[in-house]
Amino acid sequence: MKSLGIFSLFLMWLLFWIGIRSAHSAETTIPPDAAAARADDHGLVLFYRSERAKRSIDVTVDGSHVTRLQPGQTVNFLPASGPFLLDIAVRSPGRTSFQPRLKIQKERPSQAMVIDFDGSRIRLTEQRLHALPRHYDKVFAFDGEDERWIDVSPPPDTALRRSGEPLSGSIQWVAPKSWPVRVLFILGHGLYEFDDQGNVILRDGQQPNAPVSIKAELYNHKPIWSNGVVYELVSSGKPLTTKVDSGRTFVLTKRGAVCPVTPIADAYRLLHEIRSPIYSGDCDKAVRWGRSGTPLRAYPSDINTSGYPALLWAVQYFRDPVQPLYDLEGKCVYSCAVSHQP
């Protein structure tokens, strides 16, 4: 009878564990091929060693462009089922040939290859994995459902990452001693006017229905985010939203710059089952971008994409003179009584 009781307890624990794993798997969207691998695994590792010619190369898999490598960079294609055709091409004017061509068979899931380019031809040589750089600049996993390679590269060291997952009761929302921003205009999200204590005076020219202020998230009275202080719009002791929202979450960098946050490395985060978002740490590197109105700012990664950047904003600090702000069409959105034109 005692053995039967122990067996029953074990069976109940096993069913409970399976239920948790099944429920958790339903929440993630990483495809099975990618979920079976981790970024420290290695499938096909390519190291671009070009000591003489400093040209970038394009890496194409099965006819689809996957990534671009600069000399000295290493890319890791995580293990995937089935063979795939790899094309490597040097980026140079007038050259369109994808040679040499290397076919990786499924029977050899782990390979390390060195790419050499001497200015006239590409050479591929097999190498022992331990002889290559341990750091992977880029990591890709195969999405079997969409039949494409997705970027699961780890975020850079400058990224804003949350340290752990503290209990909600352990979090404190603390107002800044001094808030440096007078106005923050985020295209598509709104315009916020603050006082120097971080209280929202006006949003889109209207007073908030309830007091709203900017507050930092602390854990045991210590900053919880790396590489900067992350602020949320808080009312009645709670953030206005629990979702990732660039229009309501901001970063104050160590250099004193303020930007709306932009999430990065989503595929990496899902692959490693990290619940908290990871934000770009490039606020200090924000660049000016404009068409006809006030030159807005954008993250460098958005500038490199075609079309409009996903996130555009203008910030006016208390140390700056009060000046009008304009949207992309040249329409005034702030301090329009001041005589000034974009």
Residue 100 within any structural domain of the chain: yes
The residue among 159, 187, 149, 168 whose CA lies nearest residue 277 is 159
Q: Are 159 and 279 in contact (CB under 8 A)?
A: yes
Q: Are residues 143 and 221 both part of a single domain? A: no
Q: For 266-320, how does the pLDDT look when each residue is reduced to its tens digit (9 = 90+)? A: 999 988 888 889 999 999 999 998 765 667 999 998 886 667 888 999 999 999 9
Residues 6+ apart with CB under 8 A from 154: 39, 136, 139, 265, 268
Which pLDDT tens digit goes with each residue over 149-180?
Answer: 899 999 999 999 988 665 556 788 999 999 99
Is 30 a member of any domain?
no
List 316's β-bridge partners, or say none.
183
Q: Is residue 12 part of a domain?
A: no
| Rounded distance between C-alpha atoms, residue 180 and residue 318, angstroms | 6
> Is residue 178 helix, strand or coil?
coil
**Residue pLDDT, tens place only, 318-329:** 999 999 998 888
- The CATH number assigned to the domain holding 122 equals 2.60.34
Look at the pTM and tell me if it is higher than 0.85. no
* β-pair type (111-117, 122-126): antiparallel
181 and 316 part of one domain: yes
Structural tokens at position 312: 């555009």
Domain boundary, last residue among 96, 116, 151: 151
Q: Are residues 173 and 313 in the same domain?
A: yes
Instruction: Compare 312 and 120 and report the one with higher pLDDT.
Output: 312
Residues 185, 330 within the same domain: yes
pLDDT band at 338; cut points 50, 70, 90? low
What is residue 207's predicted lDDT score, i.e. its pLDDT? 94
Residues 182 and 269 in one domain: yes
Residues 123, 256, single domain; the answer is no
Cβ–Cβ under 8 Å, residues 295 and 288: yes
Burial class (CB in 10 A: 0-12, 13-18, 19+), 290: middle
Contacts of 37 (CB under 8 A, 6+ apart): 43, 78, 79, 141, 271
Domain stop point among 118, 151, 184: 151
- For 36-57, write each residue's pLDDT tens digit: 444 456 678 888 987 776 788 8
pLDDT tens, residue by residue, 64-116: 889 989 898 999 888 766 667 778 887 655 555 545 555 655 445 567 878 88
Of all helices (H) and strands (E), which one includes residue 213? strand 213-219
Structure tokens of 116?
């050499």
Mean pLDDT score of the chain: 78
Let me know whether 201 and 292 are in one domain. yes
- Domain with 246 in it: 168-334
Same domain as 256, residue 181: yes
Looking at the structure, tell me whether residues 129 and 175 fall in a common domain: no
Q: In this structure, are 316 and 177 located in the same domain?
A: yes
Position 158 in a domain:
no
